[in-house]
Structures are given as structure tokens and as C-alpha cells.
Amino acid sequence: GAVVSQHPSWVICKSGTSVKIECRSLDFQATTMFWYRQFPKQSLMLMATSNEGSKATYEQGVEKDKFLINHASLTLSTLTVTSAHPEDSSFYICSAYRDTGEQYFGPGTRLTVT
């Protein structure tokens, strides 16, 4: 299978600061990556679609100025949580779309905002 990495795997930050999460496809190129959020015992929630070289497409209800997405290359997308608050504490997971039609998930980043 294909490999997708995320960094960091966990992060603790203070309220009001920003946090950047990286998502990399290690052995294939991904023109499209996706960012999800998952709260404990809840379903995956798609936040946005990240397209290489263009602006991200955000799902309804997701603040684009708070969750900044940059897809600068065919193997890297970043999610920056700006002015983080405790309610942003969650498990953030990226996935990368492969041209075989499959999506592969990264291992996730657990964010805790204090």
C-alpha cells in the first residue's frame, strides 16, 4: 500500500497560538489531499480538500481563515490552525488521493490546546 506521513504526531499548544501540521505522501504524488477532524467516539469529519497549486475547498461550517491549508507540492500539504482554542483540540487526519482511485490516510496528529 501507499504511505502517507504526518508531522507532528501530537502537539500541545497554548490558547491563542498557531500550529502547523504537515502531511506528506512518501511514495506517490498526490494532486489532491484531504483534511479530516475526528472527536472521540465520533465519525470522521471532512474539513477541506487540498489541491496542489490552487486554493483549498472548505466544507460548510469550516472557517477557512482559521484552518489555513497550503498544498505547495505534489507530496506535501499543510494545515495551520490559527489562534487555537481549547475547542480545537481534536485528532486531525490527512489523506492523499492516488490516481488508482484510492485514498490513503496519514497516522493523524493529536492536538491539545491548553
Q: How far is the CB of 56 from other proteins (least distance, A)?
A: 12
Q: How far is the CB of 82 from other proteins (least distance, A)?
A: 23
Three-state SS for 86? helix
- C-beta of 86 vs 101, nearer to other proteins: 101
Contact of 71 with 97, CB cutoff 8 Å: no
What cell does 55 get?
Answer: 486554493
The residues of the shown chain that bind other proteins, judged by CB under 8 A, are: 1, 32, 34, 43-44, 46, 49, 57, 91, 93, 97, 101-108
Contact of 4 with 103, CB cutoff 8 Å: no
Check whether the bond before 107 is cis (ω within 30° of 0): no
- C-beta of 50 vs 78, nearer to other proteins: 50
Q: How far is the CB of 83 from other proteins (least distance, A)?
A: 26
Q: How far is the CB of 89 from other proteins (least distance, A)?
A: 14
Is residue 80 packed enough to be buried (19+ CB in 10 Å), middle (13-18) or exposed (0-12)?
Answer: middle
- C-beta of 2 vs 13, nearer to other proteins: 2
Looking only at the bridges linking them, the beta strands covering 10-13 and 109-113 are parallel
- C-beta of 42 vs 73, nearer to other proteins: 42
